[in-house]
Amino acid sequence: MIVGIDRKPLNMLYNLIQLQNWPLALRCGILALVLLVGSPDKSMAQGSDGALVDRANKFFLLAKNYEAALPLYQQAVDNGVAEPLVHYRLGVCYAESADLQNQLKALSYLNYAQQQASADIPQELSYYLGKTYHRDIQIQEAIKAYESYKKGLKADDKQVLADVNRQLKMCTNALFLIGEKKSIVINNFEAINSEYTEYNPLITADEGMLAYTAVREKKGKITEQIFIAKKSKGGQWSTPQALSIKANAPLGTAGISPDGQEMMVFIGGDNNSGSIYRIEHTAKGWSNPVTLGKTINSRYLETTASITPNRKTIYFASNRKDGYGGMDIYKAERQPNGDWGKPENLGPTVNTEHNEDAPFIHPDSRTLFFTSDGRNTMGGNDIFKTYFLAGEWQEPENMGYPINTPTDDNYFTLTANGKMGYFSSERKGGKGGQDIYYFEMPDHEANIPLTLIKGRILAGETDPQPIPTVIKVVDVEAKQQLDYVYSPSAGSGNYLIILPPGRNYDLIIESEGYLPYTVNVNIPDQTNFYELYQEIILKPIKQFDVVVGQEISVKNAFFDMHNTKEKSVRVANEAMLVQNDSLDLFDMMEAIIASNDGEAYDYLLGLMYKTNPIEDVNFDAIDAEKLEAAGVSYYYDETGEDNLVAKKVGSETVYTLPTFFVTEEAIKQKEQKVANANYDPSLLKETHKVYFSVGESQIEESYNKILSKVLKSLKEHQSLGIEITGYASPDGDAAANEKLSNERAIEVLNFFNQQGVVRRRILARGQGATKAAKISPEESRRVEIRLVDLNQ
């Protein structure tokens, strides 16, 4: 080592290496020269502490490897090294760390270095102080530090000036939003979060399932996995379970359908790329990922997506080259062939030169939430919302403090009732990395007049069970194409459908093993958010083990989910608009905007939904005023495949059984508990018998007179039907006797059926062997015929 050399120039050169963005080879050469002459600041640390600082300096200056330098500087300081430059560099290492809790540790070391007023301390000290104060929500101190740093800059430091001005603007935004603090309590999702990172929560419309991405360390490697938790009937979340999906790259949540049957996942690629894939929930679990297609995915980065409830429009984030800068939000429409059309950038009102990501489209299909580190953020990523009104996106609104903070707040999603917002954030007090948080929206922001249908479809003769089903929803008045298509859960038969008010909808339902059928639903002209609990039960109609039709029972229960104890001006205004103007919810929105009624506007665009599983609903205990219950039977001889109704919907023709108008039929069936009898009641008391020869099932001509008499009564009284019961001798094989009794009854049934009596008016069964102890052989070989009142 050269003795007696002036080390001040070497210190300056060493610091210069830190400040310049020189090529690596040049920086290495200069550093080698410095090390040849001797380590700078050697006088500040002797012995082993000096060696620690020397090693830390190499990481800090040459490679800017702050993670490697930090523990070395920390050990030196813990050993008593008091030099301001060491404390400054330790502060920088903490400020540049990935974890917020470590970042905030920078303050004590940076403040120490500032208080010493050493000439060796770089000007950047003030910048790092501002950055750390800002993250610690000490906004006034952050502004002072940034202003101090700005004063030392030269006019030609344009890039640095632009950056510090942006930091000051974010601090100003933070001051304003903190001053306008919302009355919201932010809760850490304790049951989900860990010392690692959990982010991008996805919630189903009924809040029954939560999916999120978790960063974990396994065998020294950092991995990302999707976890799923389910909410029990008691409101408790289950222990999260990792989702097993075949993927050879980083995997994360990207979006979810309201009913939770379809999830979009992000799979990373090469060179900072990645794409969005789709998985479906089946009876066997989650399917393997399938790409969303070339129009959505590109050779660039696509991260997150959200689909409207009708699954017609998708919003997604991408950094493709035709954007405004960084990540932008795009939308695409589903084409008639099921593919996604050409993406459309949402434009400069939403997107900026910075990053816009994590779109979440509200079920009203016009309110969009997203994340941005541009526009008026408090710092880092903030959550914004915007509305699509009058054909254009409105100026995005910052969701405010304490939802947003000066650190990263991302991936906002809403439960179905609009009451609970979920998002991920790296804020003070977290468990580590990003955590998932939730909060309850204020009542005045948590209502919108939509209806959430929570239903289930079950089928079977005695113990109805879920069956594969597809539901197509049609706006009857608008005669729209089949934009809404739902597939109930394979395991439960449950489905979720979100519909605007004041409309009449046909649910065209295709259930496996049954003819397509249509259930009509009237959504009331409402002013509040409603939940419609719906149960549809299918049963086959059999005559002698032959399926001759299907029975459909529907129960609808409407519940007003909004507290209407106090009728405000806002509610009254909304009610007036509904009654006097269009029933279209979105026309109503625009009318409120035109009237400058800000309170009504906020109310109308507040968010919605409520959590109550369909399994918990006891339809028998529901107040009759809230319940619609009706049943209908379809017989294939009247409405078989040749007689299905052709429904023309847009360019598509759908064939279905005649529409079941539940509301009208429920009223009719309530009023018609007992039909007006216009026949002689004695007709029901008489039993007519047809006897058969041993082993035979043909009707002898002698019985034509009896059968014709019954037929005459049926033709005269349409409210009457017949009950046909077949018997056989007790002698011989029981199975053969039952078969014979059925054949005899079928012969009688066919007589009436061929004479124009439809199956719906015939109740038929075979009893097998006669069980009476004392009965003549002839009596055991009979078919009994009785007239019955079909309305009783």
The tokens of 333 are what?
């429409």
Cβ(282)–Cβ(490) below 8 Å:
yes
CA distance 439 to 403: 8
**Rounded to an integer, what distance in angstroms lies between the CA atom of residue 31 and that of residue 743?**
103
Instruction: Choose between 478 and 293: higher pLDDT.
Output: 293
Q: Poorest-confidence range of 136-150, 485-499, 607-621?
A: 607-621
**Over the chain, what is the mean pLDDT?**
80
Contact 167, 134 (CB under 8 A): yes
Band of pLDDT at residue 67, cut at 50, 70 and 90: very high
Pairing of strands 420-425, 409-414: antiparallel
Q: Which residues pair with 763 in a beta bridge?
A: 723
- What's the confidence (pLDDT) of residue 767? 65
**pLDDT confidence bin for 595, thresholds 50/70/90:** very low
Which range is most confident: 105-114, 217-226, 676-685, 702-711? 105-114
* Structure confidence by residue, pLDDT tens digits, 312-329: 899 999 999 989 999 999
Least trusted range by pLDDT, from 72-76, 408-412, 671-675, 686-690? 671-675
pLDDT at residue 550 above 50?
Answer: yes
Q: Is the pLDDT of residue 5 over 50?
A: no
Structure token pair of residue 713: 């009564």
Cis peptide before 402 (omega within 30 of 0): yes
Query: Residue 40 in 3-state DSSP?
Result: coil
DSSP per-residue string spanning 114-132: HHHT-TTS-THHHHHHHHH
Q: What is the residue whose two structure tokens read 């009142």?
A: 789
Residue 251, CA distances (Å) to 169, 199, 285, 304, 746 in order: 35, 12, 18, 12, 62
Q: Which residues, including other chains, have CB under 8 Å from residue 260's CB and lie 6 or more apart? A: 204, 205, 208, 209, 281, 489
Sign of CA dihedral 35, 41, 42, 48: negative
Given a cut of 80, whether residue 370 has pLDDT beyond it is yes
Q: Which residues sit opposite 504 in a β-bridge?
A: 522
Average pLDDT over residues 232-256: 85
pLDDT of residue 738 exceeding 90, the answer is no
DSSP secondary structure letter of residue 609:
B
pLDDT value for 222: 80
Report in angstroms the alpha-carbon separations of 701 from 267, 704, 715. Answer: 77, 6, 21
- The percent of residues in the chain predicted with pLDDT above 70, rounded, is 80
The model's pTM: 0.62
User: Is pLDDT larger for residue 517 or for residue 39?
Assistant: 517
User: Which residues in 383-407 are b (16+ Cβ under 10 Å) and which e?
Assistant: bbbbbbbeeebbebebbbbbbbbbb
Whether 790 contacts 719, CB under 8 Å: yes
Looking at residue 47, its pLDDT comes to 57
Q: Long-range contacts of range 420-429, CB-CB < 8 Å, 24 or more positions apart?
A: 420/203, 420/207, 421/607, 422/189, 422/201, 422/203, 422/210, 423/201, 423/383, 424/198, 424/199, 424/200, 424/201, 424/212, 426/99, 426/100, 426/380, 427/100, 428/100, 428/101, 428/104, 428/136, 428/137, 429/188
Read off the pLDDT of each residue in 299-307 and give the average, rounded to a whole number.
93
Which of 142-146, 231-235, 333-337, 635-639 is least confident? 635-639
Residue 543: pLDDT over 50: yes
How does pLDDT run across 249-297, given as a tens digit for each residue?
A: 778 999 998 778 889 999 987 777 899 999 998 878 888 899 998 999 9
Residue 762's nearest CA partner among 726, 736, 730 is 726
- Ranked by mean pLDDT, which of 247-251, 364-368, 369-373, 437-441 comes out on top? 369-373
Closest CA to 170 of 153, 151, 186, 146: 146
N- to C-terminal Cα separation, the chain: 112
For 347-357, write each residue's pLDDT tens digit.
999 999 999 99
* Res 345: pLDDT: 97
Q: For residue 172, is pLDDT > 50?
A: yes
Query: What pLDDT score does 612 carry?
Result: 45
